[in-house]
Amino acid sequence: MERTPLTEHFDVLIVGAGLSGIGAGFHLQQKCPGKSYAILEGRDCIGGTWDLFRYPGVRSDSDMFTLGYSFKPWTEPKAIADGPNILNYVRQTALENGIDKMIRFNHRVKRASWSSQDARWTVEAERKAGEGGPETVRFTCNFLFMCSGYYKYEEGYTPEFAGTADFVGRIVHPQKWPEDIDYAGKRVVVIGSGATAVTLVPEMAKTASHVTMLQRSPTYVVARPAEDALANKLRRNLSAKLAYHMIRWRNVLFGMYFFQLCRRKPDRAKALILGGVKMALGPDYDIGTHFTPRYNPWEQRLCLVPDGDLFRAIRDKRASVVTNHIDTFTKSGIKLKDGSELEADIIVTATGLNLQVLGGLDVSVDGRKVDFARTLNYKGMMYSDVPNMASAFGYTNASWTLKCDLTCEYVCRLINYMDRHGYKQCVPHNLDPSVSELPSLDFSSGYVQRAIAQMPKQGSKRPWRLYQNYALDIVTLRYGKIDDGVMQYS
């Protein structure tokens, strides 16, 4: 690879032009005027997740009043929005605020090295350069803000299944959905029971001859109206901004209440969820086998089905659920451990994501390589002994953007504080020996457990503890002290 000699400098470099990256650009413009910044994006367009995923029916499993930005009201009638509408919302935000002009597309960030002597990061990215292949370009910045998401874009997770070479049909992973696939009139098996599977099954069932959702174990599934009747009524009578924030707070508070109910009274929450499934599928359906997980609610993410579309597809016999283990793929489908076989023309492996810390970035501080698994997470956004770096990482029990918005606000407060006091470096450093390490995510989901050993830890006390609580984070991040005795300035 050929290295270009020119090195550009910015006050802040943002990595990633998805939902959180565009939000970071807006907050910097509004709250840190005069600061130079650029957004480095590895792909050739804005949108991140909402451009990458193209599978049928792709949508959010959070309502848009909480997934949307705090500064840009969601005005579409559907609260549970589809991928193209969310993508349009993100791109509209970038265009309206001139953020699109700050993006360097086809810049895949590979390495970042911090020099305490210079008080700056040197960032290396691979830039696509036509037929000559990628070239390495360099940037320097005073502050590095990672908005690159939490999973590997190059490939999703697919377990090793025996006999895949024997199957004569097509095997597809949702993260790389092919444009040329035609499933109309075909027999489809979707392997998985998470958010992607419950989205794919009812959508594909509209034209497929039959769709089977094959799961090893069930997930909690909750139906919710795609349109929020109260929100649409308020919008007709109030300003878009006021209606948006009223519904946003209603949804936030209800989400917090239900999460606490699941943690404190799991049996009651379980009865509520399963009661809803029983109402949707009728008393004769085997809910115990297919919709009753072995774990308590919110030990893994709940699956949302707008307007109960999954349940409707099952009632109409266009879709079915099979709970069993795979023995092997065969020429015509999948043989299960009990000896039965599911015939298929197409198999979709909705088997999850590969989690990745900071987009797989190789980070060093003063020549020392940073092992993020040995760091503590500070306020859910920075890392112990790593200077002038933050990352946008959302909630596991609520909408991603709620936390990312607060993170962007805090980063701006931090940068302005350093400017006022003439500081060049800020680094979270733990001086309390009584702080013990805990896993950063308290989730039993497979995609989390596969990667938890490589992820930063959380601490047993503030500010190292992640409470996954929006109201508490507002107090801490929007109004809390910047100089808290843990963050070291120089």
Residue 450: CATH number of its domain: 3.50.50.60
Same domain assignment for residues 361 and 345: no
Instruction: Tell me the pLDDT tens digit for each residue of 361-419.
Output: 999 999 999 999 899 999 999 999 999 999 998 888 888 899 999 999 999 999 999 99
Same domain assignment for residues 320 and 392: no
Same domain assignment for residues 345 and 367: no
Average pLDDT score over residue span 479-487: 90
Cα 53 to Cα 71: distance, rounded to the nearest angstrom: 25
Q: CA of 130: how far to CAs of 7, 8, 133, 277, in Å?
A: 20, 21, 6, 53
Cα 1 to Cα 110: distance, rounded to the nearest angstrom: 13
What average pLDDT does the structure give for the chain?
Answer: 91
Same domain assignment for residues 360 and 343: no
Last residue within a domain, chosen from 302, 317, 349: 349
pLDDT band for 1, please (50, 70, 90 cuts): very low
* Per-residue tokens: 479: 């109004």
Cα 294 to Cα 291: distance, rounded to the nearest angstrom: 10
pLDDT band for 353, please (50, 70, 90 cuts): confident
Cα 344 to Cα 170: distance, rounded to the nearest angstrom: 9
For the chain, how many structural domains are there in total?
Answer: 2
Q: Residue 187's closest CA among 207, 203, 202?
A: 207
Q: Which residue has the tokens 């305490």?
A: 116
Instruction: Tell me the pLDDT tens digit for each residue of 291-337.
Output: 999 999 988 888 999 999 999 999 999 999 999 999 999 999 999 99
pLDDT band for 6, please (50, 70, 90 cuts): low
Expressed as residue numbers, the domain containing 374 is 3-153+356-489
Tell me what percent of the residues of the chain surpass a pLDDT of 70: 97
Same domain assignment for residues 232 and 271: yes
Average pLDDT score over residue span 208-212: 97
Same domain assignment for residues 124 and 29: yes
Does the pLDDT value for residue 2 go beyond 50?
no
Same domain assignment for residues 197 and 335: yes
Residue 30 lies in a domain: yes
Instruction: Tell me the pLDDT tens digit for each residue of 21-78.
Output: 999 999 999 999 999 999 999 999 999 999 999 999 999 988 999 999 999 999 999 9
Strand partners, 9: 140
Residue 107 lies in a domain: yes
Cα 13 to Cα 11: distance, rounded to the nearest angstrom: 7
Tell me what percent of the residues of the chain surpass a pLDDT of 90: 76
Same domain assignment for residues 344 and 362: no
Residue 281 lies in a domain: yes
Residue 90 lies in a domain: yes
Same domain assignment for residues 303 and 414: no
Residue 162 lies in a domain: no
Same domain assignment for residues 409 and 391: yes
Last residue within a domain, chosen from 330, 349, 368: 349
Q: CA of 220: how far to CAs of 128, 276, 297, 304, in Å?
A: 43, 11, 7, 9
Same domain assignment for residues 125 and 210: no
Residue 164 lies in a domain: no
Residue 158 lies in a domain: no
Q: Phi/psi at 354 (nearest 5 deg)?
A: -105, 110
Mean pLDDT lowest among 10-19, 132-141, 244-253: 132-141
Same domain assignment for residues 345 and 360: no
Cα 208 to Cα 182: distance, rounded to the nearest angstrom: 9
196 versus 154: which is more confidently predicted? 196
Last residue within a domain, chosen from 318, 333, 349: 349
Residue 165 lies in a domain: no
